[in-house]
Amino acid sequence: MTDLARSETHADAPRPGTAPLTSVAEVDTHCPYCALQCGMTLRATPERVEVRPRQFPTNRGGLCQKGWTAAELLDHPDRLTTPLVRDRPTGQLRPASWDEALDRVTDSVTALQAAHGRDSVAVFGGGGLTNEKAYALGKFARVALRTRQIDYNGRFCMSSAAAAGNRAFGVDRGLPFPLADLARADTLLLVGANVAETMPPLVRYLVEQKQRGGTLIVIDPRATATARQATLHLQPMPGTDLAVANALLHIALAEGWIDREYVEDRTAGFDAVRRSVAGYWPAQVERLSGVPVADLEAAARALGTAGTAIILTARGAEQHTKGVDTVTAFINLALALGLPGRPGSGYGCLTGQGNGQGGREHGQKADQLPGYRRIDDPAARAHVAGVWGVRPDDLPGPGLSAYELLDSIGSPEGPRALLVFGSNPVVSAPRAGRIQRRLADLDLLVVADFVLSETAAMADVVLPTAQWAEEDGTMTNLEGRVLRRRALRPPPTGVRTDLAVIAELARRLGATRPVDADADADGPRFPDDPRLVFDELRRASAGGIADYAGVTWERIDAENGLFWPCPAPERPDTPRLFTATFPTLDGRARFVPVEHRPAAEEVCPDYPLYLTTGRVLAQYQSGAQTRRIAPLRTAAPNAFLELHPDLAQRLGVVDGDEVRISSRRGEMRAPARLSDTIRADTVFAPFHWAGAARANSLTNDALDPTSRMPEFKICAVRVERA
């Protein structure tokens, strides 16, 4: 692999119409990992690229271990610098020229669509792509390929909270207030969030909140590093968060802590929710969830009597077949207490991926167009088609969600070709062994990446793309703050940006007018200059829920980022939503009654334990990047299975023993790690590793009926010594 990655035999010449980047000695930019998007400064020296933290509102000069080591991947030996194509006689990947690689793609796409229809070609994107790339990818799918089959890995991350937020508030913005508000809350409730490992610089807000005398409550089946800092830790059985939320609202009602004036003036549907939670007696919920009545009452009291309070949910609450309803239950609690829109209070969701917010706003999702518009809305289609220079009727309709799209490969109506940008579903998809087999059934798999990920290793064509420090663009962090990512240097010889790849594929497919055509000429354009793409994104998003029309690169630079909606250059941005009204038809937030229901898969004699999955501090997502960085590999060298000592004793397992974990879908092998921080009926595995240590070989592909989120966070397993 190293020889392939380092080969520069087929370096390509500069392309017409592309302004070459030049190296600079130092640049202010943002970390390439999570949605906190910490501010950092990159400095080029003759030996390496140095990373320094900088003062920015989110991280305030702090970085985690991943951020400090982020530049080590830029010149890694595994870096891909030439296209690879799968040699038909040998079946092996070999270096190729860009012309050969792109010809292979366009010839295959053209032939497959001619034989099997437009939807025989699909696109799979990523929540780490810049706003410009996410926008261009959605446009490419609908204009160049004219396929409805596009979705992205953010469906596995934020989709349940997004659906619940849209249903209740009429908008989905992870945090409808600046992050700094967390430190000022009298009571802060975190549900299914282990920020000490996933977003370490955020912990300073929790520390400040407690130092001010605040109460920190954490709901998590594990006593994580975050839960150990809490004033109160509720440790429910996995899959019972919804019942806990309803019990908290039941107690608040019984004790008279409801903000009745707020409910009357600013919401609708409360009576139905009041009736629905009447049966969630604390004693009943204790039997169901394992959370003691006293803890439920203490949590409800801390929220109900606080001057200011904030409720935050994250993946632990969302990655379930009832994830939308679970988030809704906590939104109901927040609305009943009068929190959303109140100064210093509110409800929010902690976005995970680097551009998890922006990535879902501008067209990567199967049912959306830019600006968070619905693709089945005639007015939205007309507006976006006008910006794109096509007819509204030429835009395809909604397609399949991420898992359904991947799982449909090999079926008569499923895609026969898949183009992947910024994702590694061989490791990150639920029931990953099944998805790996599905990908092997494709006639054409194309992966654009900068390392040979597990998915890229299966591809027919691999296109080497630029990294975060080699291209300009914008990101939207967990607050809805649009930021500027700046290039320190151009990509290596032979490497193109994703925007350049998309533009060239569109040109070869005959879907774009020439670069030198008259500005008023008809037809779509696919520029590869990120500033031009962003300006078009602004026009396409104008008037939508996520309105970026007034966001310019110059304003971002001058104002430390801008919060959407920002409808005009002369208008202010919106750091806080809901202060006066909600973006619903009547301006009111919606209560929605929700009922607890069991997980899609319950324990049984053959599979008597619950598995839950999550992250560790030193690794990120599928690990394709972080597993290659030596300090991170040293800090977290391998997967493990965390289990309670009492359970280990029953199984005859001691710390460090290799164990085999089996579910109805597959198995995983890893060393045992004994810890009394987890429930005795539950085991935990991180999901960053591949091969025999792949946790997603086990996870359940059952989907939430609304968000189509898979049930990553709970399934039934059997554990035994290997």
CA atoms within 13 A on the CB side of 30: 28
Same domain for 308 and 172: yes
Residue 665 falls inside a structural domain: yes
Same domain for 112 and 167: no
Region of residue 3 (left: phi > 0; alpha: psi -120 to 50; beta: else)? alpha
Q: Which of 294, 318, 350 is the last residue of a domain?
A: 350
Strands 84-86 and 346-349: unpaired
Chain-centre distance of CA 252, in angstroms?
33
The domain spanning residue 177 has which CATH number? 3.40.228.10
The domain spanning residue 43 has which CATH number? 2.20.25.90
At 386, list the tokens.
Answer: 């006008």
At 271, list the tokens.
Answer: 């009576």
CA distance 636 to 615: 11
CA distance 58 to 38: 6
Same domain for 306 and 186: yes
Same domain for 345 and 236: yes
At 378, the amino acid letter reads P
Asked whether the beta carbons of 659 and 672 are under 8 A apart, the reply is yes
Residue carrying the six token digits 């800092």 = 229
Residue 321 falls inside a structural domain: yes
Residue 585 falls inside a structural domain: no
Q: What are the CA-CA distances from residue 6 to residues 77, 270, 452, 468 (Å)?
A: 7, 62, 12, 19
The domain spanning residue 625 has which CATH number? 2.40.40.20
Which of 227, 256, 413 has the alpha carbon at shortest distance from 337?
256
CA distance 694 to 696: 5
Q: How many domains does the chain have?
A: 4
Same domain for 126 and 233: no
Same domain for 276 and 264: yes
Residue 552 falls inside a structural domain: no
What was the pLDDT predicted at 513? Answer: 67
The three-class DSSP label of residue 93 is strand
Domain that holds residue 23: 17-73
CA distance from start to end of the chain: 31
Same domain for 340 and 302: yes
At 114, list the tokens.
Answer: 């001619």
Same domain for 429 and 399: yes
Residue 597 falls inside a structural domain: no
Strands 461-464 and 473-476: unpaired
Same domain for 187 and 134: no
Residue 568 falls inside a structural domain: no
Q: Which of 28, 50, 73 is the last residue of a domain?
A: 73
Same domain for 361 and 305: no
Which of 206, 199, 226 has the alpha carbon at shortest distance from 66?
199
How much of the chain, in percent, has pLDDT values that exceed 90?
93
Same domain for 374 and 305: no
Which of 173, 217, 219, 228 has the alpha carbon at shortest distance from 35?
173
Residue 592 falls inside a structural domain: no
Q: Which of 316, 350, 384 is the last residue of a domain?
A: 350
Number of other CB atoms surrounding residue 411 within 10 Å: 10
Number of other CB atoms surrounding residue 504 within 10 Å: 21
Residue 564 falls inside a structural domain: no
Low-confidence ranges of the chain (pLDDT < 70): 1-21, 513-522
> Which stretches does DSSP call E strand in 298-405?
309-313, 346-349, 368-369, 373-374
Same domain for 332 and 203: yes
